[in-house]
Structure 1
Amino acid sequence: MLDVHRLRVFRSVVASGSVQAAAANLGYTPSAISQHLTALQRETGLTLLARAGRGLRPTAAGHALAAEADRVLARVGAAESLIADLRTGRTGALSIAYFASVGAAWMPLVVRRILTELPGVRLDLQLREHIPDSREERADVQVVVAGGGFDPGSGFTAHHLLDDPYVAVVPAGHRLADRQETDLADLADERWIDNDVARGWCRTNLLEACTAAGFSPAFRVEAHDYRTALAFVAAGIGLTVLPALGAADVPDGVACVRLVRPTPTRSVHVVVHDAVEHTPAARMAVAALRDAAHPAHAR
Structure 2
Amino acid sequence: MLDPHRLTVFRAVVASGSVQAAADNLGLTSSAVSQHLAALQRETGLTLFQRSGRGIVPTEAALVLDARSDEPMSQWDRLERVVADLRDGRAGQLSIGYFASAGSAWMPQLVARLRAEYPDLVLELRLNEVEQRGPRPDLDLVIDPPGAPVPAGLRRVELTVDPFVAVLPREHPLAGAERIALTDLRGETWVSNDHPSSVGHRILVAACAAVGLRPRFSVQAQDHHTAIGFVAAGVGVSVMPGLAARALPAGVARVEIAPPAPVRHLSAVVRPLGGSAAPVERAVQLLEELIARPERTAGDPYGSPAGVG
Same fold (TM over 0.5): yes
Runs (4+) off by over 6 Å: none
Q: Does 1:205 align with 2:203?
A: yes
Q: Which runs of 5+ in 2 are unaligned?
A: 296-306
Distance in 2 (alpha carbons) for counterparts of 1:25 and 1:232: 44
Tell whether the 8 Å contact from 2:143 to 2:265 is kept in structure 1 after alignment: yes
Give the letter for the 2:38 counterpart.
T
* Identity across the alignment (%): 46
Size of the aligned set, in residue pairs, is 296
Tell whether the 8 Å contact from 1:85 to 1:92 is kept in structure 2 after alignment: yes
SS in 2 for 1:179: coil
For residue 276 of structure 1, report the CA deviation from its aligned partner: 6.8
RMSD: 2.5
How has the CA–CA distance of structure 1 residues 53 and 151 changed in structure 2, closer, same or farther, with 3 Å as cutoff? farther
Matched ranges for 1:103-118 at <5 A: 103-118=103-118
Residue number in structure 2 paired with 1:273: 271
Matched ranges for 1:42-121 at <5 A: 42-121=42-121
| 1:158-204 alpha-carbon deviations (Å, 9 max, x no partner) | 22211110111222243322222122222223232221234311111
Tell whether the 8 Å contact from 2:192 to 2:219 is kept in structure 1 after alignment: yes
Distance in 1 (alpha carbons) for counterparts of 2:280 and 2:191: 38
For residue 147 of structure 1, report the CA deviation from its aligned partner: 2.3
How has the CA–CA distance of structure 1 residues 31 and 48 changed in structure 2, closer, same or farther, with 3 Å as cutoff? same
How has the CA–CA distance of structure 1 residues 17 and 183 changed in structure 2, closer, same or farther, with 3 Å as cutoff? closer
Q: Does 1:219 align with 2:238?
A: no
Distance in 2 (alpha carbons) for counterparts of 1:250 and 1:2: 52
Tell whether the 8 Å contact from 1:97 to 1:126 is kept in structure 2 after alignment: yes
How has the CA–CA distance of structure 1 residues 31 and 157 changed in structure 2, closer, same or farther, with 3 Å as cutoff? same
Distance in 2 (alpha carbons) for counterparts of 1:151 and 1:277: 26
Tell whether the 8 Å contact from 1:163 to 1:266 is kept in structure 2 after alignment: yes
Residue number in structure 2 paired with 1:251: 249
SS in 2 for 1:207: helix
Give the letter for the 1:255 counterpart.
A
Distance in 1 (alpha carbons) for counterparts of 2:97 and 2:127: 6
Tell whether the 8 Å contact from 2:71 to 2:134 is kept in structure 1 after alignment: no
**Normalising to structure 1: TM-score of the pair?**
0.89
**Normalising to structure 2: TM-score of the pair?**
0.86
Q: Does 1:181 align with 2:183?
A: no
Q: Which runs of 5+ in 1 are unaligned?
A: none
Residue number in structure 2 paired with 1:285: 283
Tell whether the 8 Å contact from 2:196 to 2:202 is kept in structure 1 after alignment: no
Q: Does 1:196 align with 2:194?
A: yes
Distance in 1 (alpha carbons) for counterparts of 2:12 and 2:170: 57
